[in-house]
Amino acid sequence: MQYIYQDLFDTVAHKLLTRQLDALTEHFVYPMPLYHGDNLQVFGAPCTFKEVLAIYREAIETASVTHINPRIVAQGVVINKRSSIWVEWDHFHSADGPTLTSQVRYVLVHSDMAALPKIEMIEYMFTAFPEVTETFASVKRA
């Protein structure tokens, strides 16, 4: 199961860095809640979540991030086709090592028909880009 999760998050990182935002939204289940601090934003459709992904993509470009490495730090067992997983996203400016790190918990939903699980919920424990999470509330809801 570890490899499936790593494949999922490696794919998410690749699609984000290569600006494949429409394809990236396909890895999520809607409506999809996103928690950051005491705030909750629910994205009812891929189009509204894509707006947040575009803001995040712009922030990492502004920060001159050249590579993102998702590191799985813990994972729960699958119960009722759902599991929790904790990921640290290391953002690199160069090969010297991570310069920014986000800590995120995900709830994944597993389907018998899908090769990869889908992300059903996101909870930011710590974000490398607080300016991005602060703009979530300004994104229109669908």
The architecture CATH gives domain 2-138: Roll (3.10)
Q: Looking at the chain, how many residues does it have?
A: 142
Identify the H or E element spanning 51: helix 46-62
How far, CA to CA in Å, does 77 sit from each of 2, 9, 18, 94, 109?
11, 18, 31, 35, 12
pLDDT score, position 142: 46
Per-residue pLDDT tens over the stretch 94-126: 666 667 889 999 999 998 777 789 999 999 998
Q: What stretches of 74-139 show up as alpha helix (H) in DSSP?
A: 130-134
Q: What angle do CA 39, 22, 117 make, to 5 degrees?
A: 70
3, amino acid identity: Y
Q: Note if the pTM is more than 0.85.
A: yes
CB-count burial class (<10 Å; 0-12, 13-18, 19+) for 113: exposed
Per-residue pLDDT tens over the stretch 36-59: 888 888 999 999 999 989 999 998
